[in-house]
């Protein structure tokens, strides 16, 4: 393979956004390809400005968002364990995950359907059985639980740091930090050129655009409209008693009778009980500053009412934080090649990180071999055109 030009750095592949998906893809390419790769990030990963902020994520395989995700989830778990073994770092904590909601909730029904279809271990429990097994819950017969014993918690920032260290060891990989891409241009000799705010330019034959909130504005300048929204999200840590220690309490998702969706984590390494809300949130423009936790009127109260109702033993709020989701209208991912040689990976809608190891492999294959795995078919851009056509 050859570089594109002599007037700016040229590589075979360019990855814009070296967070979850970008760094995962670079890690795969470093080990499976002879191509040269340039990564660009506006900050220095891991950092607080992307989707990997917040220390931990749940890893589930019996998937309430749809059984089509299960093959990716199973491959991801295999790769997470491989990364953990190779790195010597603790990256996955097998706490198990319980999904709780009213009987008949679509999410709970889909969790059970995914487990049946793919032969996954899953214990179905009444609400009072959940409370007896894990006294940190206060549930009755109006609620139902599905416990996945092989699920658990990923340490996201450790993972990003691990990938970055591995990528740095490859002579074919280069990471430029503080490189905020403000424009993409077609290269004079083919491929694409990324123009940075500080004037730097980087060219490549093929590009992965995985820069979160910046994907849609960059593509709009190329006359490609992507249905992506940026949403402010909150999460918080609480003091708690021994019932919530990681050895005693699983990760969880909770759908309330009103339809609100929460997720949470046991007290891991003394950090406290962590909880966030998956739905809702405040819409933001690209680059709009997020107000700090507690400055929106519902930040504290929306958690406190859930704590009071469902979690005896949770004590005072320790601290809260904000992050962002980049959402698609259907909350499935957006992974496609809308222009030749320019792949976009975004719209992970708050549930993408658990798949990052498998998606890094899939995106690496797409960049390097121009081979799109069938597991990615669900995430194409054409589905939005089809829905608009049928609506009209």
For this structure, is 274 an active site residue?
Answer: yes
Marked catalytic residue, from 162, 196, 240, 323: 323
Marked catalytic residue, from 49, 274, 277, 327: 274
Marked catalytic residue, from 11, 49, 52, 56: 56
Marked catalytic residue, from 57, 60, 158, 233: 57
For this structure, is 323 an active site residue?
Answer: yes
pLDDT of residue 386: 60
For this structure, is 49 an active site residue?
Answer: no
Indicate if 97-149+229-327 has the same CATH topology as 10-51+157-226+330-391: no
Whether 282 and 292 have beta carbons less than 8 Å apart is answered as: no
For this structure, is 53 an active site residue?
Answer: yes
Marked catalytic residue, from 230, 278, 332, 351: 278
Q: Please give the CATH number for the structural domain made up of 97-149+229-327.
A: 3.30.9.10
Q: State the Cα–Cα distance between residues 306 and 308, nearest whole angstrom.
A: 5
Residue ranges covered by each domain of the chain: 10-51+157-226+330-391, 97-149+229-327
Each residue's pLDDT tens digit in the chain (392 positions)? 434 444 566 899 999 999 999 999 999 999 999 999 999 999 988 887 777 767 899 999 999 999 999 999 999 999 999 999 999 999 999 999 999 999 999 999 999 999 999 999 999 999 999 999 999 999 999 999 999 999 999 999 999 999 999 999 999 999 999 999 999 999 988 999 999 999 999 999 999 999 999 999 999 999 999 999 999 999 999 999 999 999 999 999 999 999 999 999 999 999 999 999 999 999 999 889 999 999 999 999 999 999 999 999 999 999 999 999 999 999 999 999 999 999 999 999 999 999 999 999 999 999 999 999 999 999 999 999 865 544 43
What's the CATH number of domain 10-51+157-226+330-391, 3.50.50.60, 3.20.20.450, 3.20.20.100, 3.65.10.10? Answer: 3.50.50.60
Marked catalytic residue, from 52, 53, 75, 232: 53
pLDDT of residue 390: 44
């Amino acid at each position: 393979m050859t570089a594109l030009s002599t007037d700016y750095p040229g590589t075979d592949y360019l990855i814009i956004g070296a967070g979850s998906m970008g760094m995962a893809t670079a890690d795969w390419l470093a080990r499976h390809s002879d191509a040269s790769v340039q990564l660009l990030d506006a900050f220095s990963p891991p950092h607080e400005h992307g989707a990997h902020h917040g220390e931990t994520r749940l890893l589930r395989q019996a998937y309430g968002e749809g059984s089509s995700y299960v093959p990716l989830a199973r491959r991801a778990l295999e790769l997470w364990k491989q990364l953990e073994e190779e790195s010597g770092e603790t990256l996955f904590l097998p706490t198990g995950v319980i999904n709780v909601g009213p009987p008949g909730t679509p999410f709970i029904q889909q969790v059970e359907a995914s487990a049946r279809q793919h032969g996954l271990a899953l214990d179905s429990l009444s609400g009072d059985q959940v409370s007896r097994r894990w006294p940190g819950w206060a549930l009755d017969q109006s609620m139902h639980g599905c416990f996945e014993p092989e699920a658990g918690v990923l340490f996201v920032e450790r993972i990003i740091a691990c990938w970055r260290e591995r990528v740095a060891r490859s002579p074919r990989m280069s990471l430029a930090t503080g490189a905020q891409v403000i424009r993409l241009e077609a290269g004079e000799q083919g491929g694409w050129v990324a123009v940075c705010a500080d004037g730097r330019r980087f060219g490549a034959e093929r590009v992965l655009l995985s820069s979160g909130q910046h994907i849609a504005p960059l593509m709009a300048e190329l006359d490609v409209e992507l249905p992506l929204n940026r949403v402010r999200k909150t999460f918080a840590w609480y003091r708690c008693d021994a019932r919530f220690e990681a050895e005693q309490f699983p990760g969880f998702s909770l759908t309330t009778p009103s339809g609100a969706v929460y997720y949470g984590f046991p007290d891991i390494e003394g950090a406290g009980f962590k909880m966030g809300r998956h739905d809702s949130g405040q819409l933001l423009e690209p680059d709009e500053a997020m107000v700090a936790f507690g400055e929106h009127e519902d930040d504290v109260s929306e958690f406190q009412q859930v704590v009071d109702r469902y979690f005896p033993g949770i004590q005072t709020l320790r601290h809260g934080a904000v992050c962002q989701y980049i959402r698609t209208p259907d909350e499935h991912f957006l992974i496609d090649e809308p222009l030749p040689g320019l792949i976009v990976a975004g719209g992970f809608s708050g549930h993408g990180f658990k798949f990052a190891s498998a998606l890094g492999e899939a995106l690496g294959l797409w960049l390097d071999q121009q081979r799109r795995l069938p597991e990615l078919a669900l995430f194409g851009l054409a589905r939005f055109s089809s829905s608009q056509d049928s609506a009209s």
